[in-house]
Structure 1
């Protein structure tokens, strides 16, 4: 469930609709949300739903890696400016030695992008717009999946 989760009721909804994961945005919790991120992660796990914590900066990424999140995502889109830069993943992972599963999110449009991000250390890729803009979705997905 890709909604921005800030409350347990959303985790209940995720479970009810059969979602495998729900999304937490690290920057929201760095700004002291009412509920602590750890509490939401624990609640999700207790209810059988896994967690992706999304970061955009090195500091957010380090904080996300300290949680019990199942996956840490690096968003290549700056949510303040909406500017996309795949080098965000590269810059963050150059300084990381995390054992977490790391995915790169946003701005991924081609096999070359997947190869670049894989070399940077990402092991999963969230692709949306590039697939939906294509007339042959199956062929596009197959090409991206088989790029590494």
Structure 2
């Protein structure tokens, strides 16, 4: 599935580049609101939550029948989220870049917003900042070492914080090679698709103390949240557990209390 998504992203981004010039995005960036510190928000309390918005997932389909991105953002804000992760993908997750901009620029939303997509091209980084995003997510393993460095450095240059997503020791090594300040560890095994917190613990031990560690994927309750807290993570990226709740704000509040 990951390979299919990445292949599609390359095609989709090429089409967007044909429709929107870099100079257009640069002019939008000049008018974009000032960034909010995603990194500082993640360390504002002992363990924080990056709450994720998406309409569906490739494996589970529609996650919330009454999904409204802005309503969801307000619920997360009310529930105590430290930051928001907003999918910029329409084909697989039912959102789109415009949703990122909608939430990032809503006067009633005060949290940092992360543009989350399968980033394969610098164009997406410019787009994220032009939309008003405060951070982006980069998946190490879908990029060559050189392309990863180029995209990471561009994001920093544009004033964006970067959550670098890793799956194994090699990914972490590459993340540290660019002095990444925020490193996510995916709890889900790519081969079995099962959540393995023992494996997560092994990978977390490789992170320097100054790095903000983020636990990603598969956190489905208070017990899992306590586990990542005990391991030493400063934040957790959580989507489906909150999206599928009857009351997302209450679900989030009870998780972090």
Could you tell me which residue of structure 2 aligns to residue 127 of structure 1?
Answer: 238
2:207/2:213 contact within 8 Å kept = no
Q: Extract unaligned runs of 5+ from structure 1.
A: none
Match of 1:78 among 189, 207, 220: 189
Say yes or no: does 1:16 pair with 2:127. Answer: no
Q: Give the structure 1 partner of residue 202 of structure 2.
A: 91
After TM superposition, the structure 1 = structure 2 runs for residues 1-148 of structure 1, keeping only pairs within 5 Å, are 1-29=115-143, 32=144, 35-146=146-257
Contact 1:38–1:68 under 8 Å retained in 2: no
Q: Within 2, Cα distance between the matches of 1:88 and 1:11?
A: 31
Q: 1:75 to 1:145 in 2, by over 3 A?
A: same
Question: What TM-score results when the alignment is normalised by the length of structure 2?
Answer: 0.52
Q: Which has the higher contact order (CA 8 A, sep 6+)?
A: 2
Q: How many correspondences in the alignment? A: 143
Instruction: Point out the structure with max Rg over C-alpha.
Output: 2
Classify 1:131/1:115 alpha carbon distance in 2 versus 1 (closer, same or farther; 3 Å): same
Specify whether residues 96 and 16 from structure 1 end up closer, same or farther in structure 2 by C-alpha distance, changes over 3 A only.
closer
Q: Secondary structure at the match of 1:77?
A: coil
Query: Could you tell me how far apart the structure 2 residues matched to 1:106 and 1:143 are?
Result: 19
Deviation readout 1:52-71 (Å, 9 max, x if unpaired): 11101122122212223331
CA drift of 1:48 comes to: 1.5
Return the alpha-carbon distance in structure 2 between the equivalents of residues 16 and 80 of structure 1.
Answer: 36
Q: Deviations over 1:99-133 (max 9, x none)?
A: 21110000111122111111112111001010011
User: Please, which moves more after superposition, 41-50 or 63-72?
Assistant: 63-72
Change (3 A) 1:48 1:94: closer
User: Is the contact made by 1:22 and 1:50 (CA closer than 8 Å) also made in structure 2?
Assistant: yes
CA distance in 1, matches of 2:190, 2:131: 27
Q: Which runs of 5+ in 2 are unaligned?
A: 1-114
- The alignment partner of 1:83 has SS state of coil
My pick for the range that moved more, 3-12 or 19-28, is 19-28
